[in-house]
Structure 1
Amino acid sequence: MLKNVLIGIGGTGSRVIESVIHLCAAGLGPDKLHIFMIDPDQGNGNLTRTHTLIKNYIDLRNKFQRRGNNKSFRTEIIIPPGDKQFVWNIFEESNYTLAKYINYDNIVKTKPEIADLANVLFTEKELNTSLNKGFRGHPSIGAVVMADPPMEEYPFKMLWEGIESFGANELRVFLVGSIFGGTGAAGFPTLGSRQLIKFNESMQASLGGEQSRVLLGGALVLPYFSFSVDSVSSAGEPMFVTTGDFPIATKAALQYYNDKQLGFDQYYFIGDSLAQKVGDFSTGSSTQQNKPHYIEMVSALAGFDFFGQPAQLPNNNKKYFLASRETEKITWNVLPLTRDNTGLTEYKRKFKAAIADFTVFAYAYLTYGKKELNRTHKEVSIEPWYSENFGRDFKEDNHLYNPRHNQNSDLYNVADHFLNAFLYWIASIDDGETVFLIDSKKLASGAIAPNKKLELFDPETNIGNIGELVKGDSMHKTFNAFRIEGLQEAIIKDNITAGSKYLNIFYDAATRFNTSNLVNN
């Protein structure tokens, strides 16, 4: 019996989980995955985007009846039930400071020697700056306030549910956060200490000696992005971190991890030296919305590798995994996908196929598919693919046979939101210079920015784009081939709603088209 739990810490953690959700939508990831996040910045734009995406994923997975070879949304994402807390915000009220947390004013009066120690350890700014936007690149603050998480309350309660039934290493917990910032740098080693998760006695994690029900892993994300800081955006901010602080913070953190005996069984060290810009400066809150980056996808894949390892593990399983570039070019073949060298070739093929199929599916459905739904049944019946799937049994007033029936609207609305978010994510990863996965210039025109709907190219007008969405060798087939080799061969005979059938047709068409179009798929 295995249970997989993913905990994202801070801004980087939330962006990695964003990649996790999109990869799961494409059909990758474990069968079941429990997820929650940790961030004191309740209004953080990245956190909000990821939380919304998870809810959207779960909603779409519940509504979409997948059939045939449709591998999308295979992973069951599990979050705390109902209105239970999904994010541990650490502080119960806003505008909390470290001084308030340690009751500094009272300490000054009753134990001045302890107050003197606090003054040695922390500056006045560190003691008195509001922490509602996170720890601002000062992990020493975060380590203090995160040392005693409420393990018996949600979201941590979800981690420990059913713990008594697990054997050694069967509760697999994976932490992800940055090594160079504030919240992630503080939370990763704090939660990774031996007593908080790995050998937590009160939560029955320990089996005695060096045996634990918990297999603890984590992705330590090294510096991989940059942002510019101008005098206007940083005006009035008493304490913040810049990219110039990253190297020294990383060096100090790596030395700490080398010297300190924590509870981790397996580490993944992931970073990138290109320092691509992912957005404008922000100390936090709703204005902090960064573009997705391929390193976040690599970190998500590290989690999949951790969860996918064999059930039976040797007693001494301490391992370190490093991921770095050999050249500046990031292609389908160089991504670090698995520790299993014997299955690497097949895993690369499956990974490329999953991302390519979901991308073409989302693009074709959101353009041509939506256009055809806006036409009448009679108008679209001249299309062979449509007539074959809906012509014989069509009933205007029945959602099982009419894809335009109002009862299918909820499915389409949820699908529209998620598929647009997916295309934004995969398009953002394309930097136009070093990342050669999906070609965003064949996908959409205009700027690719958060909260801005992509202006997707019309495949009937730009007929060659669909065959060149996936970078690398291809047969450069056009949208005409997508109709003939994809849509016309996509026959769904299952007894499902017409809305689900319609989506399945486009997914099936995408897989058929990519099989014939992509070289060495």
Structure 2
Amino acid sequence: MAKLYVFGIGGTGARVLRSFTMMMAAGVNIGADEIVPIIIDPDASNADLTRTVALMNTYRTIHSSLSFTPKNESTFFRKELSQILVNYTLRINDTDDKTFLQFIDLPSMDKSSQAMMRMLFSEKNLGSSMDVGFKGNPNIGSIVLNQIVDSNDFQDFANNFESGDKIFIISSIFGGTGASGFPLLLKTLRTGTNFPNNDLINHAEIGAITILPYFKLKNDDESEIDSSTFISKTKSALAYYENNISKNKSIDALYFLADNVTNTYENHEGGSAQQNDAHLVEFLAATAIVDFSNKQHANTSNKELGLKELTNSVTFDSFYENQKRLLFAPLTEFMMMTNCLNHKFDYYSSKDFNANNDNFNGLYGSSFMTELQNLTGLFIEWLDEMKRNKRSLDLFNLNTKDKPFEVVTGVKPKKIISLKSDYDLVTDRLNSAVKKCQSKEDNDKFLEMFFLAMRKLFNEKFNA
């Protein structure tokens, strides 16, 4: 069973993994059978990271409660998301409670080496704490992250790697952790020999997305991060990538993504205060993972992710046809199920709902249902964050009330010949779907029922 290892580097990597996990939940077509996320971020308390870890744990709990058979067509939560590292995070040796000066053991160096290090790194650099990331300093990150291959966690990843597995790397190009981590990780994967299965890994299919500046930070004289330097750092890094990654064909597919409409966020160097709203750019970056996973890449190719129509409010009609085909049905079907569970749960968990006859005994008060409702609530939260961000990703009407088919932004649902409408029609399709379910266990049958009903409704109301 082929696996896709997804390395998410820094805060951007964690945020893209959040969007990717939502796509997995909705059943977006992902080529790999099993996804193995690995986060590289020394800032273990980063709220962007902890939120993504919690989401992935919820996904795994739901998936582990399901047993998909070949006859069960449901794609909701179907792909396996595996955890091989604690909190999915590759821990970096000797960064806890240390400054950069202590990490490189500056006092033990001879005078000439100390002088050289003080020329290369400012006093502020040397005093930087290693446990909150590299705060926009790739020069620091390149030294610290060079130790990745020596960690037990990297050895665990290498031990799990098998023939046919793929690797995808997410990073930003304008900060510290991502900008330094991507080229170092790629070099290790391509040329390293001091780890298990190194030949398989050296020759594996590897893709990556590098994200150019898509937000700014408020000026803060106390912070080491200055977003006015993002563009100059990006230009330098792009030149390096061209000469040391693209030209030497060390990667099979390299995606680039940016946006010139930028939000301005609070300037938090890391920790629990660093939690940014989900963003269109992160959503699009997640689609790059899907694109890579579904294709074979024989030669090095550089790819730019784009939209057919670039406005301040992006809808499904803004996507090129291939992107829209990939996303429209699964996200809409999952959204319609989410509305049922969030707004009509009292009815669908009652005896008045005919599908409950001889089905789902004890399901509605189970831990499985609690986790499912938790994730669907997080799904709405994620969509709402992207909708209110700049540039807005406005895929759905998040307040449909009793009009369940007024759900897709800018799309008028088709009229069909039926005596039923609105949630009465939804209920009718659910009652019909439960009779067609191939699953035996309540958890499986419940999700299969919703999948079959939502797919039928999507085809009736939205399919061209």
Which residue matches 1:319? Answer: 301
User: SS where residue 146 of structure 1 aligns?
Assistant: helix
Which amino acid is the alignment partner of residue 279 of structure 2? H
**Can you list the C-alpha shifts for 1:157-200, whole angstroms capped at 9, x where unaligned?**
3431255x63xxx342111010001111110111122xx11122
Asked if structure 2 preserves the Cα contact closer than 8 Å seen for 1:65 and 1:496, the reply is no
Report deviation, 1:437. Answer: 4.4
Report deviation, 1:434. Answer: 5.4
Whether 2:206 is the aligned partner of 1:216: answer yes
Identity rate of aligned residues, in percent? 24
Which residue matches 2:329? Answer: 353
Whether 2:58 is the aligned partner of 1:114: answer no
Structure 2 CA distance for aligned equivalents of residues 509 and 425 of structure 1: 24
Structure 2 CA distance for aligned equivalents of residues 504 and 116 of structure 1: 66
Asked if structure 1 preserves the Cα contact closer than 8 Å seen for 2:4 and 2:293, the reply is yes
**Can you list the C-alpha shifts for 1:447-492, whole angstroms capped at 9, x where unaligned?**
xxxxxxxxxxxx6xx322x222212322277634543553343224
Which residue matches 1:390? Answer: 356
Which residue matches 2:418? Answer: none
Structure 2 CA distance for aligned equivalents of residues 37 and 508 of structure 1: 35
Structure 2 CA distance for aligned equivalents of residues 363 and 179 of structure 1: 37
Correspondence list, 1:246-395, <5 A: 246-261=230-245, 263-277=250-264, 279-310=265-296, 314=298, 317-325=299-307, 327-329=309-311, 330-335=314-319, 345=322, 348-373=324-349, 375=350, 377=351, 380=352, 386-387=353-354, 389-391=355-357, 393=358
Number of aligned residues: 449
Structure 2 CA distance for aligned equivalents of residues 216 and 308 of structure 1: 13
From 173, 176, 182, the equivalent of 2:176 is 182
With over 3 angstroms needed to count, the CA separation of the structure-2 counterparts of 1:474 and 1:436, relative to structure 1, is: farther
Structure 2 CA distance for aligned equivalents of residues 21 and 98 of structure 1: 34
Structure 1 CA distance for aligned equivalents of residues 116 and 346 of structure 2: 64
Which residue matches 2:193? Answer: 201
Structure 2 CA distance for aligned equivalents of residues 436 and 174 of structure 1: 24
Structure 2 CA distance for aligned equivalents of residues 491 and 85 of structure 1: 37
Which residue matches 2:398? Answer: 443
User: SS where residue 405 of structure 2 aligns?
Assistant: helix
Asked if structure 1 preserves the Cα contact closer than 8 Å seen for 2:170 and 2:209, the reply is yes
**Can you list the C-alpha shifts for 1:299-352, whole angstroms capped at 9, x where unaligned?**
111112222223xx54xx11111123464333325446xxxxxxx64x632421
With over 3 angstroms needed to count, the CA separation of the structure-2 counterparts of 1:36 and 1:436, relative to structure 1, is: closer
User: SS where residue 191 of structure 1 aligns?
Assistant: helix
Correspondence list, 1:87-98, <5 A: 87-92=89-94, 94-98=96-100
User: SS where residue 380 of structure 2 aligns?
Assistant: helix
**Can you list the C-alpha shifts for 1:85-143, whole angstroms capped at 9, x where unaligned?**
63124254533211111101121xxx100001101110010011212211110110000
Which amino acid is the alignment partner of residue 173 of structure 1? I
Unaligned runs of 5+ in 1: 337-343, 381-385, 395-399, 445-458
Which residue matches 1:486? Answer: 429
TM-score by length of 2: 0.88
Which residue matches 1:20? Answer: 20
From 152, 158, 161, the equivalent of 1:160 is 158
**Can you list the C-alpha shifts for 1:210-236, whole angstroms capped at 9, x where unaligned?**
x9422222100111123434xxxx47x
From 102, 105, 112, the equivalent of 2:107 is 105
Whether 2:422 is the aligned partner of 1:467: answer no
Asked if structure 2 preserves the Cα contact closer than 8 Å seen for 1:15 and 1:296, the reply is yes
Structure 2 CA distance for aligned equivalents of residues 258 and 412 of structure 1: 49
TM-score by length of 1: 0.79
Structure 2 CA distance for aligned equivalents of residues 332 and 275 of structure 1: 21
Structure 2 CA distance for aligned equivalents of residues 352 and 474 of structure 1: 14
With over 3 angstroms needed to count, the CA separation of the structure-2 counterparts of 1:2 and 1:476, relative to structure 1, is: closer
Asked if structure 2 preserves the Cα contact closer than 8 Å seen for 1:361 and 1:509, the reply is no
Whether 2:5 is the aligned partner of 1:5: answer yes
Which amino acid is the alignment partner of residue 421 of structure 1? L
With over 3 angstroms needed to count, the CA separation of the structure-2 counterparts of 1:78 and 1:433, relative to structure 1, is: closer
From 357, 365, 370, the equivalent of 1:413 is 370
Which residue matches 1:450? Answer: none
Structure 2 CA distance for aligned equivalents of residues 157 and 20 of structure 1: 25
Asked if structure 1 preserves the Cα contact closer than 8 Å seen for 2:309 and 2:318, the reply is no
Asked if structure 2 preserves the Cα contact closer than 8 Å seen for 1:362 and 1:419, the reply is yes
Structure 2 CA distance for aligned equivalents of residues 490 and 88 of structure 1: 43
* Higher RCO by CA contacts (8 Å cutoff, separation 6 or greater): 2
Which residue matches 1:451? Answer: none
User: SS where residue 320 of structure 1 aligns?
Assistant: strand
With over 3 angstroms needed to count, the CA separation of the structure-2 counterparts of 1:61 and 1:414, relative to structure 1, is: same
Asked if structure 2 preserves the Cα contact closer than 8 Å seen for 1:25 and 1:73, the reply is yes
User: SS where residue 443 of structure 1 aligns?
Assistant: coil
